[in-house]
A and B are shown apart, each in its own frame.
Chain A
């Protein structure tokens, strides 16, 4: 078992090999890379929780050095006895989602996207953001227990590994990561290629954190004593960097939200309401409201009864279904509110209140063409072009030998579509038509349906590998510095796809090609202040933002409608008629020398 673990960490590039064979932090001579200074505090300022009755820095079990994340979790579980059980059933830990509407099994461990593609075959890199420790094989469920670390003793006994526990729910699941979400020291992080584990002294040279910074040695004691409710930074350290970099994936979740001003997010502005993610994404037993696979696209329930709690992350759950005040003493404001409320049966709040996404100076990736990857410089080195400069001056890659061509956009105008909340993925065994643009996911909902609203989306354009013999999307093995199949190491697509399909347990014809793909991401963050909401004429005009959307009556977008033309002809006819009448009068009067005046 232990040797198996060692092998896994060798592959994973983890630093724990050194730790498990007995090296300690004390006798290690720090190298140049291990002196990276950790952040001195959290990136998202949060008020101290004055109501708390527990000061973790005074807890006996936390007055010790920790050498691994699982050791800290074991300490947490001595008091929070059910936290592991709650966490291991959450999507943050399972990476699997049984969609109650479509029956599809979704989640990171299952689906293929148009960014990095797939987790299977690339685990220690992708699972660096897993809310657990040591998940290095997607073909199995995430491990519930971990013995990694050298600090186990009688106060903190090493868990007895049970591969076939009679009741896994009763295990002390110390492979759950508490600190990723609850660290408030600001210096907890996970290694970018360590399957969720934490860089501790000695930090492996060139190791990076999950946010792409040079890794420092995490002080786990400090982290454990600092714990509190999650700030934006706890969530953001993973969710802002989805797809391998800042704002790459979502478009509306970027490092700009660590400490935003009001213009970027009216709720999360540090100087304003200072919402954390969990202010909206309320939880119950570590299960969070708000899902991208099963979105609450309409919320007729609204605020509910006064004082009643709702575990939903919708705008309506606070702002109600008549969000614009219409019962005001000022009749003008009341009228305005009433007219704006006219829209709520058709539009999601986000459609007007997030006029553009990728605001705040961080661009999002809008195109990723894998098919051009693999071109190397004449000397065999990796080509790197960075021809996109984002507004904060940072240059972003537009071509990488490892990844192909990219396009980026900032302040992006969304795509709009009717949406009932259901996003259906093109799953691994679903046949695709490679002659057409392949939808990586499909937006559910009928035009104008009661359960649908018009939502903003980020459109992601992709070109990615597929199995051209079976016409299904392909898995590819890209990360693996020490394998001879990983694309980023060997630049050989046939090996990379072959290995990816094997890792995913997929049947593979042996032939691959590239298909154009499209993927849609609902936009719901970066809510602008009311005064920056979309202007009426963004849609109420010809060729406005909602051009092509059916199932609505949109005044102003078609002045030359049938009735419009009829009316204009009538007016022009009248005008022409009186002109002719007038001219004849003039002409006849002149001819007769008379006058048409009457008494």
Chain B
């Protein structure tokens, strides 16, 4: 067992992450404006920007979904109970006592079980809630004639708003958790360079060295 710097976030995944981050920022900022929380940008431009950002994000998600399934990366996001309680205990208690993070990164599990659960929930519950309500909201023109359309748009808009606030809460926790452990910088770095310290078995290491050498950084680095 050795620890090597392995490329775990390929270029597409990093691009996906950062465009998503930027778009979520734009959407949150304009969305809060549309909801009346602030009036930093006028309503009309905010609508345009929000809608355009939403449409770009939707297309990023379509690509990401395709990528996840064709590359098999989706397996990384399948929730597991294995080690979950330990991670939760660590954040609730161990972290205060200076304990080590219980999760050891391995090549087929680049996230810890709590992370996986959070991302999984985001992917199959919160994001769909955002985009489904968003698309229904956006296409009001096409169903405005149905009875009680005003009631439905009110419900849809409120669900959209609620899901947006959940995403905001997620982003806060997500960024905070980067500060635990080696610190913020070292946690953000892999999402920029793609390389992360991973525990490799000798078999994994020799497989990578033989077949996918570009995924391993040489030891002297």
Same complex origin of A and B = yes
Chain B residues numbered 139-168 whose CB sits less than 8 Å from any CB in chain A? 140-141, 144-145, 149-150, 153-154, 157-158, 161-162, 164-166, 168
B154 to chain A, nearest CB (A): 5
B96 pairs with A574, CB closer than 8 A: no
User: Please, which residues of chain B bring their CB within 8 A of the CB of A588?
Assistant: 96-98
- Bound together, the chains give a CA A317 to CA B95 distance in angstroms of 70
Please tell me if B182 contacts chain A, counting CB pairs below 8 Å.
yes
B150 pairs with A553, CB closer than 8 A: yes
Please tell me if B209 contacts chain A, counting CB pairs below 8 Å.
no
Closest to B44 in A: A536
- Bound together, the chains give a CA A557 to CA B97 distance in angstroms of 48
B31-45: contact bitstring with A at CB < 8 Å (1 yes, 0 no)? 011111101001110
Interface range for B: 35 or more
Please tell me if A561 contacts chain B, counting CB pairs below 8 Å.
yes
A598 pairs with B100, CB closer than 8 A: yes
A571 pairs with B157, CB closer than 8 A: no
Cross-interface CB contact of A574 among B43, B172, B183, cutoff 8 Å: B172
Please tell me if B126 contacts chain A, counting CB pairs below 8 Å.
no
A339 pairs with B47, CB closer than 8 A: yes
Tell whether A540 pairs with B176 under 8 Å between CB atoms, given A571-B168, A574-B169: no
A563 pairs with B51, CB closer than 8 A: no
B43 pairs with A339, CB closer than 8 A: no
Please tell me if A564 contacts chain B, counting CB pairs below 8 Å.
yes
Please tell me if A206 contacts chain B, counting CB pairs below 8 Å.
no
- Bound together, the chains give a CA A459 to CA B160 distance in angstroms of 38
B162 pairs with A567, CB closer than 8 A: yes
Please tell me if A592 contacts chain B, counting CB pairs below 8 Å.
yes
Interface range for A: 35 or more
A592 pairs with B164, CB closer than 8 A: no
A196 to chain B, nearest CB (A): 48
Closest to A558 in B: B36
User: Please, which residues of chain B bring their CB within 8 A of the CB of A563?
Assistant: 158, 161-162
B154 pairs with A553, CB closer than 8 A: yes
User: Please, which residues of chain A bring their CB within 8 A of the CB of B91?
Assistant: 581
User: Please, which residues of chain B bring their CB within 8 A of the CB of A536?
Assistant: 42-44, 47
B16 to chain A, nearest CB (A): 23
- Bound together, the chains give a CA A473 to CA B91 distance in angstroms of 78
Please tell me if B181 contacts chain A, counting CB pairs below 8 Å.
yes
User: Please, which residues of chain A bring their CB within 8 A of the CB of B176?
Assistant: 578, 581-582
Cross-interface CB contact of B181 among A557, A577, A597, cutoff 8 Å: A597
User: Please, which residues of chain B bring their CB within 8 A of the CB of A597?
Assistant: 181-183
Chain B residues numbered 169-221 whose CB sits less than 8 Å from any CB in chain A? 169, 172-173, 176, 179-183, 197
Please tell me if B89 contacts chain A, counting CB pairs below 8 Å.
no
B198 to chain A, nearest CB (A): 11
Please tell me if B101 contacts chain A, counting CB pairs below 8 Å.
yes
Cross-interface CB contact of B141 among A341, A585, A598, cutoff 8 Å: A341
Cross-interface CB contact of B36 among A535, A542, A574, cutoff 8 Å: A542
- Bound together, the chains give a CA A577 to CA B175 distance in angstroms of 13
Closest to A338 in B: B141
A578 pairs with B141, CB closer than 8 A: no
Please tell me if B48 contacts chain A, counting CB pairs below 8 Å.
yes
Cross-interface CB contact of A571 among B150, B154, B172, cutoff 8 Å: B172
B interface: dominant SS:
helix
B43 pairs with A345, CB closer than 8 A: no
B162 pairs with A540, CB closer than 8 A: no
A559 pairs with B42, CB closer than 8 A: no
User: Please, which residues of chain A bring their CB within 8 A of the CB of B158?
Assistant: 561, 563
User: Please, which residues of chain A bring their CB within 8 A of the CB of B44?
Assistant: 336, 535-537
Which of B97, B168, B169, B180 is packed against the most chain A CB atoms within 10 Å? B169
Tell whether A537 pairs with B182 under 8 Å between CB atoms, given A561-B158, A570-B165: no
- Bound together, the chains give a CA A559 to CA B158 distance in angstroms of 11
Closest to B175 in A: A578
B137 to chain A, nearest CB (A): 9
Please tell me if A589 contacts chain B, counting CB pairs below 8 Å.
yes
Please tell me if A269 contacts chain B, counting CB pairs below 8 Å.
no
B98 pairs with A592, CB closer than 8 A: yes
Cross-interface CB contact of A595 among B32, B42, B98, B141, cutoff 8 Å: B98
User: Please, which residues of chain B bring their CB within 8 A of the CB of A335?
Assistant: 48, 51-52
Please tell me if A98 contacts chain B, counting CB pairs below 8 Å.
no
A552 to chain B, nearest CB (A): 6
User: Please, which residues of chain B bring their CB within 8 A of the CB of A555?
Assistant: 34-36, 157
A542-560: contact bitstring with B at CB < 8 Å (1 yes, 0 no)? 1000000001110111110
User: Please, which residues of chain A bring their CB within 8 A of the CB of B153?
Assistant: 553
Chain A residues numbered 512-543 whose CB sits less than 8 Å from any CB in chain B? 535-537, 540-542
Please tell me if A599 contacts chain B, counting CB pairs below 8 Å.
yes
B92-132: contact bitstring with A at CB < 8 Å (1 yes, 0 no)? 00011111110010000000000000000000000000000
B204 to chain A, nearest CB (A): 18
B33 to chain A, nearest CB (A): 8
Closest to A562 in B: B158
- Bound together, the chains give a CA A594 to CA B94 distance in angstroms of 12
Cross-interface CB contact of B97 among A553, A592, A599, cutoff 8 Å: A592
Closest to B161 in A: A563
Please tell me if A54 contacts chain B, counting CB pairs below 8 Å.
no
10 contacts between A and B (CB under 8 A): A332-B48, A336-B44, A345-B144, A535-B42, A566-B162, A566-B165, A567-B165, A596-B99, A598-B99, A599-B3
Interface residues of A (CB under 8 A from B): 332, 335-336, 338-339, 341-342, 345, 448, 535-537, 540-542, 551-553, 555-559, 561, 563-564, 566-568, 570-571, 573-575, 577-578, 581-582, 584-585, 588-589, 592, 594-599
Known: A535-B42, A571-B169. 12 other contacts (CB 8 A): A332-B52, A336-B44, A339-B47, A448-B150, A537-B43, A537-B44, A553-B150, A566-B162, A574-B172, A581-B91, A598-B181, A599-B3
Interface residues of B (CB under 8 A from A): 3, 32-37, 39, 42-44, 47-48, 51-52, 91, 95-101, 104, 140-141, 144-145, 149-150, 153-154, 157-158, 161-162, 164-166, 168-169, 172-173, 176, 179-183, 197
